Amino acid sequence: AFWLGVPLLVVLFGNVWAVLNPWAAVMPERRPLFTYPERLGRWPAAALLFLFTALELAYSNPADPRMLGIAIVLYSVITWYGMFLFGRDVWLANGEAFSVYFGLLAGLAPFGREEGRIVARGPLAGLAMATSRPGTLAFVAVMLGSVSFDGLSRTSFWLRWRYDATVSSPEYGDLLATGLNVIGLLLMIEAVALTYLLAIGVARQFVQRDDLEEAFVFSLVPIAFAYVVAHYFSSAVIQGQLLVTRISDPLGRGWYLFGTADFRQDIGVLSPNAIWYVQVGALVVGHVLGLVLAHDRAIGLI
C-alpha cells in the first residue's frame, strides 16, 4: 500500500505525500539550529532510500516484524533529528527519502501546488521546472538501480550464483546472501549512474556546457516510474487485495469492522497476457516521456 500505492497516487493527483507524511505531521516548523550545507543536497535522502531498498531487496527476511519495527524506529529518529537540526521543510526537501522520492514522481502529475493553491498543469511540467542539487543523480540512480536489481535477483543466474557462494557456509548462509545482495544492489545503482554520466560525457563532445548532468537528470524519473509499474504492477493488484481484509481486521484480532474480514483473494485476477501488455506499455510510455522531457530541456539550453 505504501511503496506501490503512494507512487500511483502522487503521479495521478500530485504530491499527496506532503499531506500524508506522518513524520512531518508531528514535527512543527521551527527555527533550525544549523544552516543546511548546500553541498549535501539530496545525498542524505539517497543514502536513506538505499538503506530502505537494501532492507526490502537484500535482507534475507524483510517482512520480519521485529526488523521492520527496528527500521521504522531508526528512520524516525534520523528524520526527526534532521528536522530538529536543519528545519522541517529543509530536511523534507533534502534528507527525508520518501518526501524526495514521491516529490520527484509528483512532477509527472497534472496537478501541482503554487502559492498554497492546487493548480492544473501539463504532465511533466513539474519535472521540467525542477532544479537539480548535489545528490540528485545518486538519488535517481537508486530509484532505477534498485528496481533493476530486484529483477536481476529473481533470475536463475543470480539465485544459482548466490547459492553456490553460500552453500559452503550454511551457518552464515543468510548473512552471506544478504552481503552478496547488497553488493549486487550497489553495483546495479553504480551501473545506472555511470551509464548516465557516460552519455553526458558523449554529449559534451558536441556541446561545450558544464550543466548537462544537472539539466537532463530528471528525464530519468519517468523511466524509473515505468520500471516500478512494470515490475510491481501484478504484485500490487494481487497482494493489494489483502487490504480489503486488513481494513476490517488491521491487528489480526478477529475484528469485523467493515464486513470484509472474510474477503477471499483472487490470485487469478490478472492473466499473463494482461501483465505482459501492462509491462510493455509502461516501459514504452515511460521512455517516451523521458525523451520528451529531455528534448524539452535541450531546447531550453539553446
Provide the mean pLDDT of the chain.
90
CA-nearest of 77, 124, 297 to 225 is 124
CA-nearest of 183, 96, 190 to 137 is 190
Q: What confidence score (pLDDT) does residue 159 get?
A: 85
d(CA 30, CA 83): 9
Q: What confidence score (pLDDT) does residue 235 get?
A: 86
- Reply yes or no on whether the pLDDT at 38 is more than 80: yes
- Stretch among 14-28, 95-109, 201-215 having the lowest mean pLDDT: 201-215
3-state SS class at 260: coil
DSSP letter at 4 equals T
3-state SS class at 120: strand
Residue pair 153/184 in contact by the 8 Å Cβ criterion: yes
* pLDDT tens digits, 273-298: 999 999 999 999 999 999 999 999 88
- The DSSP-derived string for 192-250 is HHHHHHHHHHHHHTTS--S-HHHHHGGGGHHHHHHHHHHHHHHHHHHHTTHHHHHTT-T
User: Residues 177-196: what's their mean pLDDT?
Assistant: 94
Long-range contacts of 59-62 (CB under 8 A, 24+ apart): 59/178, 59/181, 60/174, 60/175, 60/177, 60/178, 61/174
* pLDDT tens digits, 111-153: 988 877 888 988 888 998 888 899 999 999 999 999 999 888 8
Provide the pLDDT confidence category of residue 4 given band limits of 50, 70 and 90: confident
DSSP letter at 265 equals P
Q: What confidence score (pLDDT) does residue 134 get?
A: 94
Helices (H) and strands (E) in the chain, counts: 15, 2
pTM of the model: 0.90
What percentage of residues in the chain have a pLDDT greater than 90? Answer: 55
* pLDDT tens digits, 54-109: 999 999 888 888 999 999 999 999 999 999 999 999 999 999 999 999 999 999 99
User: Residues 215-236: what's their mean pLDDT?
Assistant: 91
What percentage of residues in the chain have a pLDDT greater than 70? Answer: 100
Range ranked top by mean pLDDT from 71-80, 108-117, 203-212, 226-235? 71-80
- Reply yes or no on whether the pLDDT at 222 is more than 90: yes
Q: Which three cell numbers stand for residue 21?
A: 507524511
Longest pairwise C-alpha distance within the chain: 66
Phi, psi of 34 (to 5 degrees): -135, 155
